[in-house]
Structure 1
C-alpha cells in the first residue's frame, strides 16, 4: 500500500489527479486504512482516466487487484449528471448518495449533526440500561463505564466534533449509572 500511496502522491505532484483542497497548501488525494482506501480526485474525465491507470499499474506491479464490486463513487452536489455518467462509465462503479456510512460513521454530515450522532448516544444509553438491573460494585460500574461506555463514542469523536448537547446527554447517563 505504500507503493500505491506513492503513486497517488506522484500523480498529484504531476497534476494528473487533484486531491481535495482544504487550503492553498493542503490537499488530500487518499486515505488508507488497513485493507481499505478512500481516493479523492477532481471530477473530470482526464483525472479519472489517470486514476484508473494508476489502479491498473499498481495491480500489474503488485499482483493486488482492486475489488470494484465492493467499491463505489461519491460526488459533490455540484457535479452535473452528464459528467457523473461519463465518470461512472470509466470506473464501471455504482454511485452512492452522500449519507452512506463508512466504517460505521456517516461519510458526510450536514447541519443537523445531532440526528446523525443520536445513534451513538442510543448505543451508550442502551448499554447502561442493560446494566441497571444487575448488582455491580462501584468499582465494577467504574470499569464498565471506562471500558465500554466511554469507548463507544470515542471512535466517532476521533473523526467528528460531536455536538456538546449529545456529549452532555451521554455524560449524564453515565453519571446517573
Structure 2
C-alpha cells in the first residue's frame, strides 16, 4: 500500500506540480524515499509545494483508509528563514525538527559531517557488547559476533554517508578490545595486528570486513543507482 503513495507522488512530479529537490547535476529531482513503513518526502521551499504535499497525503489517506502518525512525523528545513519555516510547517501541520536528527537510525545533519553526529553508533555497539558478556565466548565466537552483529550495525548508515575517520578508528578499537579482552576494557595484549585479522581467510586472516572499504563500496553503489536512474529517464 505504501507503493500507492509513491505512484501518486511520481504522477504529481511528471505533471510538474511536485518539484522535489535537486541532489546532483544531471540527475532527476528527488521527491521521496520509501521503506517498509516509513517515507521521507522532499520538496521545494514554497507555499505551493507545501500545499501540494499536504493535499497528496490527505488524498492518499482518504483513498486507502490509512492514517499518518503525525506524532512521529517531522519536517526538516535547510537554509531557510525562520519565518518561512513557521509558515510551511503550519501548512503541512508538522512540528519543526532540528539538526542533527535521525531517520531509521541514520543521522540527518546540515553542513559538515562531524564525528559527534555518529556517537549513537558507538553507544549502540558498546551496549550490545555489555549484553554479550564476551569474556565467556571463545575466540571464534567473538569473531562471529564482530562479523555478524557489530559490522551489521554500521551497514545502513554507511550505505547513505561517509563515516568520519575518527569514528572508524573508534569502532575498530571497540572491536579489538572485544576480540582480545571480551567485554573488559583492559587485559590481554593483541597477538596479531588488526590489518592481518582483516585479511581474507585464504591470506590467513579472519575475513573481518574493513569499515573504510565497506563504506567506499556502498557509496559507489549509491552513486551508480542514482546515475542509472537518471539515465533511464
The answer to whether the 8 Å contact 1:48/1:90 transfers is: yes
Q: How is 1:14-53 mapped onto 2 (pairs within 5 angstroms)?
A: 14-22=15-23, 23-53=25-55
Superposition RMSD in Å? 2.3
Provide the residue aligned with 1:68 in structure 2: 70
Query: What's the offset of the Cα at 1:101?
Result: 1.8
Query: What's the offset of the Cα at 1:129?
Result: 6.5
TM-score (norm 1): 0.85
Query: What's the offset of the Cα at 1:44?
Result: 0.8
- Measured in 1, the distance between the counterparts of 2:39 and 2:54 equals 14
The answer to whether the 8 Å contact 1:74/1:97 transfers is: yes
Query: What's the offset of the Cα at 1:70?
Result: 2.4
Deviations, residues 2-51 of structure 1 (Å, cap 9, x unaligned) = 22101101111112111110224321101111111111111211111111
- Measured in 1, the distance between the counterparts of 2:82 and 2:129 equals 47
- Measured in 2, the distance between the counterparts of 1:13 and 1:119 equals 39
Provide the residue aligned with 1:111 in structure 2: 112
Query: What's the offset of the Cα at 1:149?
Result: 2.0
Deviations, residues 92-130 of structure 1 (Å, cap 9, x unaligned) = 221111212222222125425212123323433554567
- Measured in 1, the distance between the counterparts of 2:32 and 2:97 equals 18
- Measured in 1, the distance between the counterparts of 2:109 and 2:120 equals 15
Local SS of the residue matching 2:88:
helix
4+ residue runs over 6 A deviation: none
Aligned length: 176
Q: Which has the higher strand share?
A: 1
Gaps in structure 2 of 5+ consecutive residues: 180-233
Deviations, residues 149-168 of structure 1 (Å, cap 9, x unaligned) = 22222232122211233223
